[in-house]
Amino acid sequence: MSDDGRYRGRIVVGFDGSDPSLTAVRWAASAATLRGRDLVLLYALLPPTSSGGFGVGMPPSLDLLDQLEAAARQEVEDLARTIQGEFPGVDARGVVAIGAPSAVLLEAADTAELVVVGSRGRGGFTGLLLGSVGAQVAAHAACPVAVIRRGPNPEARSIVVGIDGSPAAEAALRFAFDEASRRGWTVHAVHAWDVPAYDLLIVPNAPVPVPLSDVADDEVRLTAEALAGFRDEYPDVDVVEHLVRAPAVKALLDAAADAAMIVMGTHGHSPAIGALLGSVSNGLLHKAKLPVVIVPPQPDHPEAA
């Protein structure tokens, strides 16, 4: 589907009138200022249906649809003007699209530079930390997706990025280094590893086939190789390496205690068949309280096909 150029090269943020989406709008406006990009506030309007006598959903009348669209357009255009006042230099405009929010945002992601969503929308359950729209967009978008639960600590000056040698992690590293270079921040590169799984329940006294020192040496080498090219390309960015023997989600959250954002690839090594969002990225989206950016592999890599 074509977006007729409305989103090409722009930062697109989903807005539905909820407080989380308003937080996402302001985060996106800050990102647009930093990158010198136009900002699109995208309001996805999914018209209500009424049930007939046999349980069949009836479409709304054309008059009602026009009224809903006009109200949504007024709301998002008013907000766009407010954002332009708060963030001088940002060209912000509101767009209303008819359709399911996840589908509308995924279409925009085909040509946008960055898509930003709140952690939960207007219809989200209070107890859920990540709504279905955020999860679907982060898992399937063609461009990086920032999921915003609340704004970062204004004093934070670091970005945490997870690395494991996979193409998805390489794309995440590129995003993190580029963002850190623009902002003058530090990159904290976290490589979490654990002992390979052996069936010690069946043979409890069997020796571990690989010495732990060898495993640790391999992880150190992988980390150094993953960072080498980016250190050369971004000499202005300070890098702090964290090689941690711990579950990846815990290691990343611990490292991000005072960070401004976490950046992760869509999935790392050994993803489940058919999974587009790995367990680590998914875990972070559900547990992290700071902004999380999910970055897909580069288009020229086989994983991105």
Q: Is the pLDDT of residue 16 over 70?
A: yes
Residues whose CB is less than 8 angstroms from the CB of residue 66 and which lie 6 or more positions away in sequence, other chains included: none
| pTM above threshold 0.75 | yes
Q: In the chain, how many domains are there? A: 2
Q: How far out from the chain centre does Cα 301 lie?
A: 20
| Residues 211 and 278 placed together within one structural domain of the fold | yes
- Does residue 210 sit in the same domain as residue 281? yes
Mapped onto helix, strand or coil, the DSSP state of residue 266 is: coil
- Rounded mean pLDDT of the chain? 82
Quick one: average pLDDT of 155-183?
92
Per-residue pLDDT reduced to its tens digit, 59-74: 666 778 889 899 999 9
As to burial, measured by CB atoms within 10 angstroms (0-12 exposed, 13-18 middle, 19+ buried), residue 280 is buried
Beta-ladder partners of 45: 98
165 — pLDDT class (breaks 50, 70, 90): confident
Do 108 and 12 touch, CB atoms closer than 8 A?
yes
Q: Are 42 and 74 part of one and the same domain?
A: yes
Q: Which residues of 152-165 are buried (b: 16+ CB within 10 A; e: fewer)?
A: beeeeebbbbbbbe
Say which CATH number the domain at 29 has.
3.40.50.12370
Question: What is the maximum span of the chain, computed from C-alpha positions, in angstroms?
Answer: 75
Same domain, 144 and 164: no
The predicted-structure confidence for 198-215, as pLDDT tens digits, reads as follows 444 444 554 555 454 545
Strands 292-295 and 145-148: what pairing? Answer: antiparallel
pLDDT digits (tens, 9 = 90+) for 226-283: 898 999 999 999 999 998 888 899 999 999 999 999 999 986 444 433 345 678 888 8
Q: Which domain holds residue 41?
A: 11-148
Nearest partner of 175 among 151, 193, 159, 196, judged by Cα? 159
Q: Which of 85, 115, 148 is the last residue of a domain?
A: 148
Query: Which stretch, 144-158, 162-176, 193-207, 249-263, has highest mean pLDDT?
Result: 249-263
